[in-house]
Structure 1
């Protein structure tokens, strides 16, 4: 029998930026080589000792990777001869030579509807933002604050036999009952909201919740939005063909009397206006509900950051004062857990939620069961509340450093949340284009968010910018603010 062809150890290289544990990355290296046809059945892999020495890892790490591949029938072991590519390993498809392709479809005519070309918004966030030393960007989690250990345990529990049926069956339009129960009994009452399970829908983050609300309420209709506002909110409305009326906010948020006649839907962020951080006073909330009733309009309340109230108890949600079923409430766990989780919820009258559930089912059926059950376990066991308190302490400390540095360098704050939050809304001197400022600061490893994208209209103020502090350590804040001040000077 001819000796098996060995695979040279030099074939294996670990990408320095690849994600995952060393064991998983080595396992992936071998599996991808087999799936791509580079490693053939019967070929001998380098010994665990040789591969460990070549990759600069421990031998046990390579052994564990090989053992996992052995269990999955990618590899086979032959006594003391070593590890070989299994004869039963998945084989790459034999398609032969692919034909030359020359596209003849005119997509400018073929597309029935376009989603590009709408209002562009540059939030000043490059893909490699984490490599910058002073990332004053909003909405990104600090991994040092997250409870990785307990989240991992909850994910493992969610995969247990007890929960397996709930994870593997197609629930069509249903949600995890444990997650819905926690939201109804614990999360919403903290905002003064009482809702039944039939009035709650789990979504893929607040963005998905807002999209559902727009599709059901705002297509082709007159809507009022805050100005400035969350840029993606305005883009959703543009795509829906809504007649958008921007309503300028002031230091107290949205002025209800400025909402024009004929408005059918009002989109607002009353607890923490995006991006100015203004909080709508109680009197204005009552006036806003009265104005909505007079217009026979509905209100979509985006309460995206209520968990970030570490300075003072937040005001009850606008939904808590709703006695007519006129307010649709949007909440999210993505800001406090991590953005990639994409888990949020809609709360509204049963008739609205019924339609939202049907629309969601036609697009994505339901959010992944494993994510829902893991989050439910994390919430029920108290890990979430502990995490929120830990994040709150960290944000309070960073905010204090931010305010001191901003004050010391004479930078102008245009808005900051009275109850907390994770950003400051800033105003540069007149004549400063903060998009150009942001580009200039990148050379100093500083990231800021230009403010023009938050405003509506062709002529928008260009001297605002946002400084987030959720993803920058306290000890770097002062130097980063000093660099911003120096650039402005």
Structure 2
């Protein structure tokens, strides 16, 4: 790789001759790690023109560095950083001193410190990764996604690849969502009512920013998607957690002064429970009585491999008060970060303007690649393949859970990709997760899904989307073994109580 000549410049306050300054620039570049071994330096002529100095000055500097083995010469090819050049230090260079800025005062609003759990970056290296929301390389259609990406790079799609849509989206992707994706959920929408987002989380953030203020109230499920709770907290609106039951969010428990209701009726997060049809009608009636809006996060509806999913809440809405959030990140792969918002035109207009002011639009090439993957039938084929695999894994996990006497707290009636589990009351699943990680098992503690200071510590989630069927039984056995060990510790401690 050639080092660009623009990385070289003479500091106006530098001391010494021009020759020594050039030597110092190159030596510091090597010692700091910016210039790597084997990289080519600019020619003496090009560097001299760039710096506005004599070529002989650059030549002498290079010759001196050559003699000290910082550089090497390869015939007529030019000068390169020598393979024998000093290696940069393994530690980061120290700063000149602490910041003069008092950041505790300078920061006007804080976004860190939320409950978002962190999964190990090397999760795929664990033998039993019962973690949610990661792509399974055994199931993903790499070949056809690559072909669709290449097709989107073609001359025919030059405009889609390079155009600044400003506040618009790829018309092919919008058309597919309107004509194929939404009708499967019983939803009808015009292009003006559809907005592409960077995943469902971005859609929830846009919605919160448009609908909520410090004087308005939001109701959300408890337990819930932890990122949504962080988003609502950052908006500084009033937040009321509503504890879910086996049928999801109880409409009667929603405060009468609520402005926006956030819910996951088809596949409650994280319990995976499904809201019955009668309760959906009751929720719509309750929202109408309060003149409240409903934000429906319809994640994982594609994973309904046990039976056809219930119609979306949005499909039952006759008032235009339901805003629908969908995502391709779960059905394709999480790194795609591609979702969509469906709502009435006045709302979408404001969400579109907000998105344009923050990020303009999701990358055109990503949108067009997804449009091809969807329209050519690859997505449907992938969903069928995933459904078959997840069905098998679910059956294996159900058998293993029952054999080892573990307790299921929630399981999707239509499918999904995880079980919501509960340990004995004295078991802290954070401690359980730490113990299991040393044995190659990853689980998700349930603390972060709950609201308030007194969060239950005995819930956890076992996902089967990122682990092969052949490893599930052994992994569950290890979970059960560690659980028995913690149970024994709990009983031992209880016997020592006064």
**Alignment TM class, shorter chain as reference:** 0.7 to 0.9
What is the aligned counterpart of 2:197 among 203, 209, 213? 203
TM-score normalised by structure 2 residue count: 0.79
1:113 corresponds to: 109
Q: Does 1:171 align with 2:165?
A: yes
Q: Does 1:468 align with 2:463?
A: yes
TM-superposed CA distance for 1:417, in Å, is 0.3
Asked whether the 8 Å contact 1:206–1:343 carries over to 2, the reply is yes
Separation (CA, whole Å) in 2 of partners of 1:181 and 1:115: 36
Separation (CA, whole Å) in 1 of partners of 2:143 and 2:79: 35
TM-score normalised by structure 1 residue count: 0.81
What SS is found at the alignment partner of 1:260? coil
CA deviation profile, 1:275-320 (whole Å, cap 9, x unmatched): 0001010000000001001111000000011011111100000000
What SS is found at the alignment partner of 2:181? helix
What is the aligned counterpart of 1:148 among 142, 145, 160? 142
Asked whether the 8 Å contact 1:34–1:40 carries over to 2, the reply is no
1:255 corresponds to: 250
Separation (CA, whole Å) in 2 of partners of 1:35 and 1:301: 51
What SS is found at the alignment partner of 2:410? strand
What SS is found at the alignment partner of 1:400? helix
CA deviation profile, 1:75-107 (whole Å, cap 9, x unmatched): xxx9xx897679xxxxxxxxxx99945420111
TM-superposed CA distance for 1:127, in Å, is 1.8
TM-superposed CA distance for 1:218, in Å, is 2.0
Larger radius of gyration: 2
Q: How does 1:99-248 map to 2 (within 5 A)?
A: 100=96, 102-117=98-113, 119-122=114-117, 125-220=119-214, 221-248=216-243
What SS is found at the alignment partner of 2:213? coil
Residues 35, 351 of structure 1: CA spacing in aligned structure 2 closer, same or farther, 3 A cutoff?
Answer: farther
Separation (CA, whole Å) in 2 of partners of 1:386 and 1:284: 33
2:63 corresponds to: none
**Number of equivalent positions:** 411
Separation (CA, whole Å) in 1 of partners of 2:274 and 2:140: 27
TM-superposed CA distance for 1:42, in Å, is 8.4
- For structure 1, the residue ranges without an aligned partner over 5 or more in a row are 1-32, 44-77, 87-96
2:86 corresponds to: none
2:296 corresponds to: 301
CA deviation profile, 1:333-376 (whole Å, cap 9, x unmatched): 00011000000000000110000000000000000000000000
1:488 corresponds to: 483
TM-superposed CA distance for 1:122, in Å, is 3.0
TM-superposed CA distance for 1:219, in Å, is 2.8
What SS is found at the alignment partner of 2:309? coil
Asked whether the 8 Å contact 2:169–2:196 carries over to 1, the reply is yes
What SS is found at the alignment partner of 1:407? helix
Separation (CA, whole Å) in 1 of partners of 2:478 and 2:308: 34
Runs of 4+ in 1 over 2 A off after TM superposition: 33-43, 81-86, 97-102, 119-123
Asked whether the 8 Å contact 1:269–1:301 carries over to 2, the reply is yes
- For structure 2, the residue ranges without an aligned partner over 5 or more in a row are 1-32, 44-73, 81-92, 485-498
CA deviation profile, 1:126-150 (whole Å, cap 9, x unmatched): 2221111101000011011111111
Asked whether the 8 Å contact 2:421–2:459 carries over to 1, the reply is yes
